[in-house]
Structure 1
Amino acid sequence: MAVYAIGDVQGCFDPLRRLLDKLDFDPARDRLWLTGDLVNRGPKSLETVRFVRGLGATAVTVLGNHDLTLLAIAAGHVKPGKKDTFHDVLDAPDAAELIDWIRHLPMLHHDDALGFTMVHAGLSPHWDLDLARTCAAEVEAVLRGPDHADFLAHMFGSEPRVWHDELAGEERLRHIVNVMTRMRFCGPDGSLSFDQKGPPGSQPPGLKPWFELPGRRNAGLRLITGHWAALGYHRAPGLYALDSGCIWGQHLTALRLDAVEPPCCVDCYEMRKTKNRADQGI
Protein backbone atom coordinates (compact mmCIF):
# COMPACT_ATOMS: atom_id res chain seq x y z
CA MET A 1 0.00 0.00 0.00
CA ALA A 2 1.22 3.51 -0.88
CA VAL A 3 -0.03 6.76 0.66
CA TYR A 4 0.18 9.82 -1.59
CA ALA A 5 -0.47 13.47 -0.74
CA ILE A 6 -1.37 15.79 -3.63
CA GLY A 7 -1.57 19.59 -3.68
CA ASP A 8 -4.49 21.83 -4.64
CA VAL A 9 -6.48 20.43 -7.57
CA GLN A 10 -8.90 23.37 -8.05
CA GLY A 11 -10.99 21.68 -10.70
CA CYS A 12 -8.00 20.44 -12.73
CA PHE A 13 -9.49 16.98 -13.01
CA ASP A 14 -7.60 15.79 -16.10
CA PRO A 15 -4.14 16.53 -14.61
CA LEU A 16 -5.24 14.75 -11.42
CA ARG A 17 -6.17 11.61 -13.34
CA ARG A 18 -2.92 11.74 -15.32
CA LEU A 19 -0.90 12.08 -12.14
CA LEU A 20 -2.71 9.16 -10.50
CA ASP A 21 -2.10 7.06 -13.62
CA LYS A 22 1.58 7.98 -13.48
CA LEU A 23 1.69 6.86 -9.86
CA ASP A 24 -0.14 3.62 -10.73
CA PHE A 25 -2.62 4.57 -8.03
CA ASP A 26 -4.99 1.74 -7.13
CA PRO A 27 -7.89 2.78 -4.84
CA ALA A 28 -8.26 -0.83 -3.70
CA ARG A 29 -4.68 -0.78 -2.42
CA ASP A 30 -3.43 2.79 -1.99
CA ARG A 31 -4.54 5.84 -0.04
CA LEU A 32 -4.77 9.49 -1.07
CA TRP A 33 -4.44 12.73 0.90
CA LEU A 34 -5.59 15.99 -0.73
CA THR A 35 -4.64 19.41 0.66
CA GLY A 36 -8.00 21.08 -0.03
CA ASP A 37 -9.31 23.45 -2.69
CA LEU A 38 -10.78 20.68 -4.77
CA VAL A 39 -12.83 23.28 -6.61
CA ASN A 40 -12.75 26.62 -8.44
CA ARG A 41 -10.72 28.39 -11.11
CA GLY A 42 -10.24 25.14 -13.06
CA PRO A 43 -12.59 23.71 -15.70
CA LYS A 44 -13.89 20.57 -13.98
CA SER A 45 -14.82 21.15 -10.37
CA LEU A 46 -17.85 18.87 -10.63
CA GLU A 47 -15.86 15.92 -11.99
CA THR A 48 -13.22 16.44 -9.32
CA VAL A 49 -15.68 16.46 -6.42
CA ARG A 50 -17.60 13.45 -7.72
CA PHE A 51 -14.39 11.50 -8.27
CA VAL A 52 -12.91 12.21 -4.83
CA ARG A 53 -16.24 11.58 -3.11
CA GLY A 54 -16.46 8.29 -4.98
CA LEU A 55 -13.15 7.17 -3.51
CA GLY A 56 -14.79 6.96 -0.10
CA ALA A 57 -12.43 6.10 2.75
CA THR A 58 -9.57 5.72 0.27
CA ALA A 59 -9.18 9.53 0.17
CA VAL A 60 -8.99 12.15 2.89
CA THR A 61 -9.41 15.81 1.97
CA VAL A 62 -9.15 18.85 4.21
CA LEU A 63 -11.17 21.99 3.57
CA GLY A 64 -9.57 24.86 1.68
CA ASN A 65 -10.68 28.47 1.27
CA HIS A 66 -12.23 27.81 -2.16
CA ASP A 67 -14.21 24.87 -0.78
CA LEU A 68 -15.54 27.07 2.02
CA THR A 69 -16.42 29.79 -0.48
CA LEU A 70 -18.46 27.25 -2.43
CA LEU A 71 -20.35 26.37 0.75
CA ALA A 72 -21.08 30.04 1.44
CA ILE A 73 -22.33 30.59 -2.11
CA ALA A 74 -24.50 27.48 -1.94
CA ALA A 75 -25.99 28.81 1.31
CA GLY A 76 -26.86 32.08 -0.41
CA HIS A 77 -24.52 34.29 1.62
CA VAL A 78 -22.00 35.14 -1.09
CA LYS A 79 -22.30 35.79 -4.81
CA PRO A 80 -19.87 34.03 -7.17
CA GLY A 81 -16.97 36.18 -8.33
CA LYS A 82 -16.07 36.77 -11.97
CA LYS A 83 -13.25 34.20 -11.79
CA ASP A 84 -15.23 31.53 -9.95
CA THR A 85 -15.85 28.36 -11.95
CA PHE A 86 -17.77 26.06 -9.63
CA HIS A 87 -21.13 26.78 -11.25
CA ASP A 88 -21.01 23.18 -12.52
CA VAL A 89 -21.22 21.93 -8.93
CA LEU A 90 -23.99 24.35 -8.01
CA ASP A 91 -26.03 23.42 -11.11
CA ALA A 92 -25.53 19.67 -10.85
CA PRO A 93 -28.58 17.46 -10.17
CA ASP A 94 -26.74 16.02 -7.16
CA ALA A 95 -25.57 19.43 -5.93
CA ALA A 96 -27.21 19.07 -2.51
CA GLU A 97 -25.44 15.77 -1.85
CA LEU A 98 -22.08 17.13 -3.03
CA ILE A 99 -22.38 20.30 -0.95
CA ASP A 100 -23.32 18.23 2.10
CA TRP A 101 -20.29 15.99 1.54
CA ILE A 102 -17.95 19.01 1.32
CA ARG A 103 -19.52 20.47 4.46
CA HIS A 104 -18.51 17.36 6.38
CA LEU A 105 -14.86 17.37 5.31
CA PRO A 106 -12.29 17.93 8.08
CA MET A 107 -10.29 21.09 8.66
CA LEU A 108 -7.23 19.09 9.76
CA HIS A 109 -6.08 15.51 9.42
CA HIS A 110 -3.44 13.85 11.58
CA ASP A 111 -2.08 10.32 11.29
CA ASP A 112 -0.03 9.03 14.21
CA ALA A 113 1.23 5.99 12.34
CA LEU A 114 2.56 7.97 9.38
CA GLY A 115 3.62 10.91 11.52
CA PHE A 116 2.07 13.56 9.27
CA THR A 117 -0.47 16.33 9.83
CA MET A 118 -2.34 17.90 6.90
CA VAL A 119 -4.01 21.31 6.80
CA HIS A 120 -4.75 23.55 3.84
CA ALA A 121 -2.71 26.67 4.67
CA GLY A 122 -0.90 26.21 7.97
CA LEU A 123 -1.06 26.35 11.75
CA SER A 124 -0.82 29.33 14.09
CA PRO A 125 2.57 29.61 15.79
CA HIS A 126 0.64 29.66 19.08
CA TRP A 127 -0.85 26.20 18.55
CA ASP A 128 0.60 22.82 19.40
CA LEU A 129 -1.01 19.74 17.86
CA ASP A 130 -3.56 19.30 20.64
CA LEU A 131 -4.77 22.89 20.39
CA ALA A 132 -4.79 22.76 16.58
CA ARG A 133 -6.97 19.65 16.66
CA THR A 134 -9.29 21.27 19.18
CA CYS A 135 -9.62 24.38 17.01
CA ALA A 136 -10.28 22.31 13.90
CA ALA A 137 -12.94 20.30 15.74
CA GLU A 138 -14.71 23.50 16.80
CA VAL A 139 -15.12 24.65 13.20
CA GLU A 140 -16.05 21.16 12.01
CA ALA A 141 -18.79 20.88 14.65
CA VAL A 142 -20.39 24.15 13.52
CA LEU A 143 -20.12 23.32 9.81
CA ARG A 144 -21.76 19.95 10.38
CA GLY A 145 -24.41 21.26 12.75
CA PRO A 146 -27.85 22.82 12.33
CA ASP A 147 -26.46 26.38 12.55
CA HIS A 148 -23.94 26.00 9.71
CA ALA A 149 -25.74 28.50 7.46
CA ASP A 150 -25.45 31.21 10.12
CA PHE A 151 -21.77 30.44 10.56
CA LEU A 152 -21.15 30.69 6.82
CA ALA A 153 -22.84 34.09 6.80
CA HIS A 154 -20.28 35.42 9.31
CA MET A 155 -17.24 33.39 8.29
CA PHE A 156 -15.60 35.97 5.99
CA GLY A 157 -13.46 38.80 7.29
CA SER A 158 -9.85 39.43 8.28
CA GLU A 159 -10.32 40.19 11.98
CA PRO A 160 -9.15 39.26 14.53
CA ARG A 161 -5.64 38.84 13.16
CA VAL A 162 -3.91 37.63 16.33
CA TRP A 163 -4.69 34.49 18.30
CA HIS A 164 -5.66 34.78 21.95
CA ASP A 165 -6.84 31.90 24.09
CA GLU A 166 -9.72 34.14 25.20
CA LEU A 167 -11.16 34.43 21.69
CA ALA A 168 -14.71 33.15 21.58
CA GLY A 169 -17.74 32.87 19.34
CA GLU A 170 -17.66 34.09 15.75
CA GLU A 171 -14.30 35.83 16.18
CA ARG A 172 -12.62 32.66 17.38
CA LEU A 173 -14.08 30.54 14.58
CA ARG A 174 -13.22 33.14 11.93
CA HIS A 175 -9.60 33.32 13.10
CA ILE A 176 -9.30 29.53 13.04
CA VAL A 177 -10.66 29.42 9.49
CA ASN A 178 -8.29 32.19 8.37
CA VAL A 179 -5.26 30.46 9.87
CA MET A 180 -6.05 27.05 8.46
CA THR A 181 -7.20 28.14 5.01
CA ARG A 182 -5.81 31.61 4.18
CA MET A 183 -2.53 32.17 6.03
CA ARG A 184 0.77 32.93 4.25
CA PHE A 185 2.73 35.71 5.96
CA CYS A 186 2.67 36.68 9.63
CA GLY A 187 4.05 39.38 11.87
CA PRO A 188 6.41 38.55 14.76
CA ASP A 189 3.43 38.01 17.09
CA GLY A 190 1.76 35.63 14.66
CA SER A 191 -0.65 38.29 13.37
CA LEU A 192 -2.06 37.39 9.97
CA SER A 193 -1.32 39.47 6.87
CA PHE A 194 -3.58 38.89 3.87
CA ASP A 195 -2.29 41.50 1.43
CA GLN A 196 0.81 39.62 0.29
CA LYS A 197 0.40 36.53 -1.89
CA GLY A 198 3.79 36.38 -3.60
CA PRO A 199 6.71 34.09 -2.79
CA PRO A 200 8.91 34.49 0.29
CA GLY A 201 11.13 37.52 -0.20
CA SER A 202 8.38 39.59 -1.80
CA GLN A 203 6.87 40.64 1.53
CA PRO A 204 7.54 43.99 3.26
CA PRO A 205 9.87 44.18 6.29
CA GLY A 206 8.47 42.77 9.48
CA LEU A 207 6.64 39.84 7.89
CA LYS A 208 7.80 36.25 7.59
CA PRO A 209 6.32 33.13 6.03
CA TRP A 210 4.28 31.57 8.82
CA PHE A 211 6.50 28.49 8.97
CA GLU A 212 9.64 30.59 9.58
CA LEU A 213 8.38 32.30 12.74
CA PRO A 214 10.73 31.56 15.67
CA GLY A 215 9.29 29.68 18.60
CA ARG A 216 6.49 28.09 16.59
CA ARG A 217 4.82 25.60 18.97
CA ASN A 218 4.09 23.11 16.16
CA ALA A 219 7.62 23.15 14.73
CA GLY A 220 8.09 19.50 15.69
CA LEU A 221 5.30 18.31 13.40
CA ARG A 222 5.62 17.15 9.81
CA LEU A 223 3.02 19.30 8.08
CA ILE A 224 1.49 18.74 4.65
CA THR A 225 0.03 21.97 3.23
CA GLY A 226 -1.21 23.51 -0.01
CA HIS A 227 -2.77 26.94 -0.66
CA TRP A 228 0.37 28.97 -1.50
CA ALA A 229 0.87 28.56 -5.24
CA ALA A 230 3.56 31.27 -5.37
CA LEU A 231 5.56 29.27 -2.82
CA GLY A 232 5.32 26.21 -5.04
CA TYR A 233 6.61 22.80 -4.09
CA HIS A 234 8.64 23.62 -0.99
CA ARG A 235 10.38 21.59 1.64
CA ALA A 236 11.66 23.03 4.87
CA PRO A 237 12.16 21.48 8.30
CA GLY A 238 8.79 20.03 9.24
CA LEU A 239 7.03 21.35 6.13
CA TYR A 240 6.00 19.78 2.82
CA ALA A 241 4.13 22.41 0.77
CA LEU A 242 2.52 20.84 -2.29
CA ASP A 243 0.58 23.54 -4.17
CA SER A 244 2.74 23.78 -7.28
CA GLY A 245 0.30 25.93 -9.25
CA CYS A 246 -1.52 23.51 -11.53
CA ILE A 247 -4.31 26.04 -12.01
CA TRP A 248 -1.73 28.59 -13.19
CA GLY A 249 -0.40 26.35 -15.95
CA GLN A 250 2.16 24.48 -13.88
CA HIS A 251 1.63 20.97 -12.49
CA LEU A 252 0.30 18.90 -9.63
CA THR A 253 2.77 17.51 -7.13
CA ALA A 254 2.47 14.23 -5.23
CA LEU A 255 4.48 13.13 -2.20
CA ARG A 256 4.55 9.50 -1.14
CA LEU A 257 4.12 9.75 2.61
CA ASP A 258 4.99 6.20 3.53
CA ALA A 259 8.38 6.58 1.81
CA VAL A 260 9.49 9.91 3.32
CA GLU A 261 12.33 9.61 5.78
CA PRO A 262 12.15 11.67 8.97
CA PRO A 263 14.25 14.79 8.40
CA CYS A 264 17.75 14.43 9.79
CA CYS A 265 19.29 17.81 9.05
CA VAL A 266 18.57 20.91 7.00
CA ASP A 267 21.50 20.25 4.66
CA CYS A 268 19.89 16.99 3.51
CA TYR A 269 16.75 18.65 2.15
CA GLU A 270 18.13 19.79 -1.17
CA MET A 271 19.68 16.38 -1.81
CA ARG A 272 16.33 14.65 -1.22
CA LYS A 273 14.14 17.31 -2.82
CA THR A 274 13.09 15.35 -5.89
CA LYS A 275 13.28 11.84 -4.46
CA ASN A 276 9.57 11.46 -3.78
CA ARG A 277 8.21 13.89 -6.33
CA ALA A 278 5.94 13.05 -9.24
CA ASP A 279 4.26 15.64 -11.39
CA GLN A 280 2.30 15.91 -14.59
CA GLY A 281 1.70 19.17 -16.42
CA ILE A 282 -1.63 20.20 -17.83
Structure 2
Amino acid sequence: MTRYAVGDVQGCLEPLQCLLEEVNFDAGKDELWLAGDLINRGPASLQTLRFVKSLGECTRIVLGNHDLHFLAIAFGTRKTGKSDTFDEILNADDCAELVQWLQQQHLFYSDPSGDYHMVHAGIPPLWTVTQARQYAAEVEQVLHSDQAKPFFEHMYGNEPAVWSDGLEGWTRLRVITNYLTRMRFCNPEGVLDFENKLATIDKPNFNPWFSYSRDQSTNIIFGHWAALEGKANSEGVFALDTGCVWGHALTLMNLETQHLHHCNCAN
Protein backbone atom coordinates (compact mmCIF):
# COMPACT_ATOMS: atom_id res chain seq x y z
CA MET A 1 0.00 0.00 0.00
CA THR A 2 1.14 3.52 -0.83
CA ARG A 3 -0.34 6.65 0.70
CA TYR A 4 -0.61 9.77 -1.44
CA ALA A 5 -1.66 13.25 -0.34
CA VAL A 6 -2.90 15.97 -2.68
CA GLY A 7 -3.39 19.68 -2.16
CA ASP A 8 -6.43 21.83 -2.91
CA VAL A 9 -8.19 20.40 -5.97
CA GLN A 10 -10.89 23.09 -6.10
CA GLY A 11 -12.77 21.42 -8.92
CA CYS A 12 -9.70 20.78 -11.10
CA LEU A 13 -10.50 17.15 -11.80
CA GLU A 14 -8.32 16.65 -14.87
CA PRO A 15 -5.04 17.43 -13.06
CA LEU A 16 -6.07 15.13 -10.21
CA GLN A 17 -6.73 12.26 -12.59
CA CYS A 18 -3.48 13.07 -14.39
CA LEU A 19 -1.53 12.63 -11.14
CA LEU A 20 -3.29 9.45 -10.12
CA GLU A 21 -2.54 7.96 -13.52
CA GLU A 22 1.10 9.03 -13.27
CA VAL A 23 1.60 7.13 -10.01
CA ASN A 24 -0.56 4.16 -11.08
CA PHE A 25 -2.89 4.77 -8.17
CA ASP A 26 -4.84 1.64 -7.18
CA ALA A 27 -7.99 2.38 -5.20
CA GLY A 28 -8.04 -1.24 -4.09
CA LYS A 29 -4.79 -1.01 -2.15
CA ASP A 30 -3.55 2.60 -2.01
CA GLU A 31 -4.82 5.59 -0.02
CA LEU A 32 -5.58 9.08 -1.32
CA TRP A 33 -5.46 11.89 1.23
CA LEU A 34 -7.14 15.16 0.23
CA ALA A 35 -6.19 18.28 2.19
CA GLY A 36 -9.49 20.11 1.74
CA ASP A 37 -11.08 22.52 -0.71
CA LEU A 38 -12.17 19.81 -3.09
CA ILE A 39 -14.46 22.28 -4.83
CA ASN A 40 -15.13 25.87 -5.93
CA ARG A 41 -13.72 28.13 -8.65
CA GLY A 42 -12.38 25.28 -10.80
CA PRO A 43 -14.17 23.95 -13.90
CA ALA A 44 -15.46 20.62 -12.58
CA SER A 45 -16.60 20.83 -8.95
CA LEU A 46 -19.56 18.48 -9.42
CA GLN A 47 -17.48 15.93 -11.30
CA THR A 48 -14.72 16.17 -8.66
CA LEU A 49 -17.12 15.36 -5.85
CA ARG A 50 -18.58 12.45 -7.77
CA PHE A 51 -15.14 11.10 -8.63
CA VAL A 52 -13.70 11.34 -5.12
CA LYS A 53 -16.87 9.84 -3.64
CA SER A 54 -16.66 6.96 -6.13
CA LEU A 55 -13.18 6.06 -4.83
CA GLY A 56 -14.82 4.81 -1.67
CA GLU A 57 -12.90 3.75 1.41
CA CYS A 58 -9.42 4.50 0.05
CA THR A 59 -9.87 8.25 0.62
CA ARG A 60 -8.94 10.28 3.69
CA ILE A 61 -10.53 13.73 3.49
CA VAL A 62 -10.44 16.88 5.58
CA LEU A 63 -12.78 19.75 4.83
CA GLY A 64 -11.51 23.15 3.76
CA ASN A 65 -13.13 26.57 4.02
CA HIS A 66 -14.56 26.28 0.48
CA ASP A 67 -16.13 22.92 1.28
CA LEU A 68 -17.72 24.31 4.45
CA HIS A 69 -18.90 27.38 2.52
CA PHE A 70 -20.63 25.12 0.02
CA LEU A 71 -22.32 23.17 2.81
CA ALA A 72 -23.55 26.41 4.38
CA ILE A 73 -25.09 27.38 1.04
CA ALA A 74 -26.60 23.92 0.60
CA PHE A 75 -28.16 24.18 4.06
CA GLY A 76 -29.66 27.54 3.16
CA THR A 77 -27.75 29.62 5.67
CA ARG A 78 -25.61 31.50 3.14
CA LYS A 79 -26.07 32.87 -0.36
CA THR A 80 -23.78 32.03 -3.24
CA GLY A 81 -21.04 34.62 -3.77
CA LYS A 82 -20.10 36.09 -7.14
CA SER A 83 -16.90 34.01 -7.34
CA ASP A 84 -18.52 30.74 -6.24
CA THR A 85 -19.07 27.97 -8.78
CA PHE A 86 -21.54 25.76 -6.94
CA ASP A 87 -24.59 26.01 -9.20
CA GLU A 88 -23.90 22.78 -11.05
CA ILE A 89 -23.72 20.85 -7.78
CA LEU A 90 -26.78 22.54 -6.30
CA ASN A 91 -28.80 21.70 -9.42
CA ALA A 92 -27.59 18.11 -9.71
CA ASP A 93 -29.96 15.19 -9.12
CA ASP A 94 -27.51 13.75 -6.59
CA CYS A 95 -26.91 17.03 -4.74
CA ALA A 96 -28.49 15.83 -1.49
CA GLU A 97 -26.41 12.65 -1.57
CA LEU A 98 -23.20 14.60 -2.19
CA VAL A 99 -24.02 17.06 0.59
CA GLN A 100 -24.62 14.23 3.05
CA TRP A 101 -21.37 12.54 2.04
CA LEU A 102 -19.35 15.76 2.33
CA GLN A 103 -20.97 16.54 5.67
CA GLN A 104 -19.61 13.26 7.09
CA GLN A 105 -15.96 14.13 6.40
CA HIS A 106 -13.48 15.37 9.00
CA LEU A 107 -11.53 18.52 9.87
CA PHE A 108 -8.43 16.68 11.08
CA TYR A 109 -7.01 13.31 10.17
CA SER A 110 -4.22 11.33 11.82
CA ASP A 111 -2.81 8.15 10.35
CA PRO A 112 -3.23 5.25 12.80
CA SER A 113 0.56 4.88 12.80
CA GLY A 114 0.89 8.48 14.00
CA ASP A 115 3.48 9.40 11.38
CA TYR A 116 1.34 11.93 9.47
CA HIS A 117 -1.43 14.33 10.38
CA MET A 118 -3.52 16.29 7.88
CA VAL A 119 -5.49 19.51 8.27
CA HIS A 120 -6.63 22.08 5.74
CA ALA A 121 -5.04 25.25 7.15
CA GLY A 122 -2.87 24.31 10.11
CA ILE A 123 -2.45 23.84 13.85
CA PRO A 124 -2.04 26.99 15.99
CA PRO A 125 1.08 27.21 18.20
CA LEU A 126 -0.94 26.99 21.42
CA TRP A 127 -2.36 23.54 20.54
CA THR A 128 -0.71 20.16 20.48
CA VAL A 129 -1.60 17.66 17.77
CA THR A 130 -3.68 15.78 20.32
CA GLN A 131 -5.61 18.92 21.24
CA ALA A 132 -6.16 19.79 17.57
CA ARG A 133 -7.63 16.34 17.00
CA GLN A 134 -9.88 16.65 20.05
CA TYR A 135 -11.12 20.13 19.15
CA ALA A 136 -11.72 19.10 15.54
CA ALA A 137 -13.86 16.23 16.84
CA GLU A 138 -16.10 18.74 18.62
CA VAL A 139 -16.92 20.41 15.31
CA GLU A 140 -17.20 17.11 13.48
CA GLN A 141 -19.74 15.82 15.98
CA VAL A 142 -21.98 18.80 15.21
CA LEU A 143 -21.41 18.59 11.45
CA HIS A 144 -22.47 14.95 11.49
CA SER A 145 -25.65 15.71 13.47
CA ASP A 146 -28.96 17.52 13.10
CA GLN A 147 -27.22 20.60 14.54
CA ALA A 148 -25.32 21.20 11.30
CA LYS A 149 -27.64 23.96 10.09
CA PRO A 150 -27.38 26.11 13.24
CA PHE A 151 -23.63 25.54 13.16
CA PHE A 152 -23.46 27.02 9.65
CA GLU A 153 -25.64 29.92 10.80
CA HIS A 154 -22.95 30.79 13.38
CA MET A 155 -19.80 29.67 11.52
CA TYR A 156 -18.91 32.93 9.78
CA GLY A 157 -16.96 35.65 11.55
CA ASN A 158 -13.45 36.67 12.62
CA GLU A 159 -14.18 37.17 16.30
CA PRO A 160 -12.87 36.14 18.65
CA ALA A 161 -9.52 35.97 16.88
CA VAL A 162 -7.81 33.86 19.53
CA TRP A 163 -8.47 30.64 21.40
CA SER A 164 -9.45 30.45 25.04
CA ASP A 165 -10.20 27.27 26.98
CA GLY A 166 -13.28 28.98 28.37
CA LEU A 167 -14.96 29.47 25.00
CA GLU A 168 -18.35 27.81 24.74
CA GLY A 169 -21.11 27.04 22.27
CA TRP A 170 -21.07 28.32 18.70
CA THR A 171 -18.27 30.80 19.50
CA ARG A 172 -15.98 27.95 20.52
CA LEU A 173 -16.79 25.96 17.38
CA ARG A 174 -16.25 29.04 15.17
CA VAL A 175 -12.76 29.63 16.56
CA ILE A 176 -11.82 25.96 16.17
CA THR A 177 -13.07 26.05 12.57
CA ASN A 178 -11.17 29.25 11.81
CA TYR A 179 -7.90 27.77 13.05
CA LEU A 180 -8.28 24.51 11.18
CA THR A 181 -9.62 25.88 7.88
CA ARG A 182 -8.67 29.57 7.54
CA MET A 183 -5.43 30.22 9.44
CA ARG A 184 -2.24 31.48 7.79
CA PHE A 185 -0.50 34.02 10.04
CA CYS A 186 -0.82 34.28 13.82
CA ASN A 187 1.18 35.65 16.71
CA PRO A 188 2.79 33.47 19.41
CA GLU A 189 -0.37 33.69 21.53
CA GLY A 190 -2.45 32.36 18.64
CA VAL A 191 -4.15 35.60 17.61
CA LEU A 192 -5.14 35.21 13.95
CA ASP A 193 -4.48 37.63 11.11
CA PHE A 194 -7.30 37.06 8.62
CA GLU A 195 -6.22 39.80 6.21
CA ASN A 196 -2.83 38.68 4.92
CA LYS A 197 -3.09 35.90 2.32
CA LEU A 198 0.37 36.42 0.86
CA ALA A 199 3.56 34.57 1.78
CA THR A 200 5.30 37.63 3.27
CA ILE A 201 4.83 39.00 6.78
CA ASP A 202 3.21 42.43 6.99
CA LYS A 203 2.53 42.81 10.74
CA PRO A 204 5.08 42.85 13.59
CA ASN A 205 5.00 39.76 15.79
CA PHE A 206 2.87 37.79 13.28
CA ASN A 207 4.39 34.80 11.54
CA PRO A 208 3.25 31.69 9.65
CA TRP A 209 1.59 29.30 12.09
CA PHE A 210 4.20 26.61 11.35
CA SER A 211 7.17 28.86 12.20
CA TYR A 212 6.65 28.49 15.95
CA SER A 213 8.23 25.72 18.00
CA ARG A 214 6.36 22.43 18.02
CA ASP A 215 6.87 18.68 18.30
CA GLN A 216 9.36 18.01 15.51
CA SER A 217 8.52 14.30 15.48
CA THR A 218 5.16 14.97 13.82
CA ASN A 219 4.64 15.40 10.08
CA ILE A 220 1.84 17.81 9.20
CA ILE A 221 0.22 18.01 5.77
CA PHE A 222 -1.84 21.08 4.90
CA GLY A 223 -3.23 23.01 1.95
CA HIS A 224 -5.07 26.35 1.87
CA TRP A 225 -2.07 28.65 1.33
CA ALA A 226 -1.35 28.82 -2.39
CA ALA A 227 0.92 31.85 -2.02
CA LEU A 228 3.53 29.62 -0.35
CA GLU A 229 3.93 27.79 -3.67
CA GLY A 230 4.48 24.57 -1.74
CA LYS A 231 7.41 25.94 0.30
CA ALA A 232 6.86 25.89 4.06
CA ASN A 233 10.61 25.63 4.76
CA SER A 234 9.90 23.99 8.10
CA GLU A 235 10.94 20.46 9.06
CA GLY A 236 8.05 18.02 8.95
CA VAL A 237 5.57 20.52 7.48
CA PHE A 238 4.30 19.92 3.95
CA ALA A 239 2.41 22.67 2.11
CA LEU A 240 0.54 21.02 -0.75
CA ASP A 241 -1.62 23.83 -2.14
CA THR A 242 0.33 24.98 -5.19
CA GLY A 243 -2.45 27.02 -6.78
CA CYS A 244 -3.76 24.70 -9.46
CA VAL A 245 -7.01 26.65 -9.73
CA TRP A 246 -4.97 29.82 -10.36
CA GLY A 247 -3.24 28.29 -13.37
CA HIS A 248 -0.31 26.67 -11.59
CA ALA A 249 0.15 23.00 -10.68
CA LEU A 250 -1.62 20.42 -8.59
CA THR A 251 0.76 18.62 -6.24
CA LEU A 252 0.64 15.01 -5.04
CA MET A 253 3.03 13.70 -2.39
CA ASN A 254 4.02 10.08 -1.88
CA LEU A 255 3.94 9.81 1.91
CA GLU A 256 6.27 6.82 1.95
CA THR A 257 9.08 8.58 0.05
CA GLN A 258 8.00 12.27 0.36
CA HIS A 259 8.50 12.56 -3.39
CA LEU A 260 6.38 15.27 -5.01
CA HIS A 261 4.51 14.86 -8.27
CA HIS A 262 3.14 17.87 -10.17
CA CYS A 263 0.59 18.09 -12.93
CA ASN A 264 0.24 21.18 -15.08
CA CYS A 265 -2.80 19.96 -17.02
CA ALA A 266 -4.89 22.81 -18.41
CA ASN A 267 -7.75 23.82 -16.10
Same fold judged by TM-score > 0.5? Answer: yes
Cα shift at 1:129: 1.9
- What are the equivalent positions in structure 2 for 1:1-282 lying under 5 Å apart? 1-113=1-113, 115-199=115-199, 201-213=200-212, 215-216=213-214, 218-235=215-232, 236-260=234-258, 276-282=259-265
Amino acid in structure 2 at the alignment position of 1:79: K
Cα shift at 1:14: 0.8
* Counterpart secondary structure, 2:179: helix
Structure 1: gaps (5+ residues): 261-275
Amino acid in structure 2 at the alignment position of 1:141: Q
Cα shift at 1:164: 1.1
Whole-angstrom CA distance in 1 between matches of 2:13 and 2:257 = 25
Moved over 6 A (4+): none
Cα shift at 1:114: 5.7
Whole-angstrom CA distance in 2 between matches of 1:135 and 1:241 = 22
Whole-angstrom CA distance in 1 between matches of 2:74 and 2:216 = 36
Cα RMSD between the aligned structures?
Answer: 1.2
Cα shift at 1:112: 3.4
User: How many pairs were matched up?
Assistant: 264
Cα shift at 1:26: 1.4
Cα shift at 1:29: 2.2
Whole-angstrom CA distance in 1 between matches of 2:102 and 2:29 = 24
* Counterpart secondary structure, 1:230: helix
Amino acid in structure 1 at the alignment position of 2:202: Q
1:194-235: CA deviation from partner (whole Å, max 9, x where unpaired): 000001x2423221011112x44x554210000000012124
Whole-angstrom CA distance in 1 between matches of 2:81 and 2:216 = 36
1:147-204: CA deviation from partner (whole Å, max 9, x where unpaired): 11011111000011111111111111000000000000012311011000001x2423
**TM-score scaled by structure 1?**
0.91
* Counterpart secondary structure, 2:122: coil
Identity %: 48
Structure 2: gaps (5+ residues): none
* Counterpart secondary structure, 2:134: helix
Cα contact 1:114–1:257 (8 A) shared by 2? no
Whole-angstrom CA distance in 2 between matches of 1:54 and 1:78 = 28
Whole-angstrom CA distance in 2 between matches of 1:108 and 1:172 = 17
Cα shift at 1:18: 0.8
Whole-angstrom CA distance in 2 between matches of 1:240 and 1:203 = 23
* Counterpart secondary structure, 1:253: strand
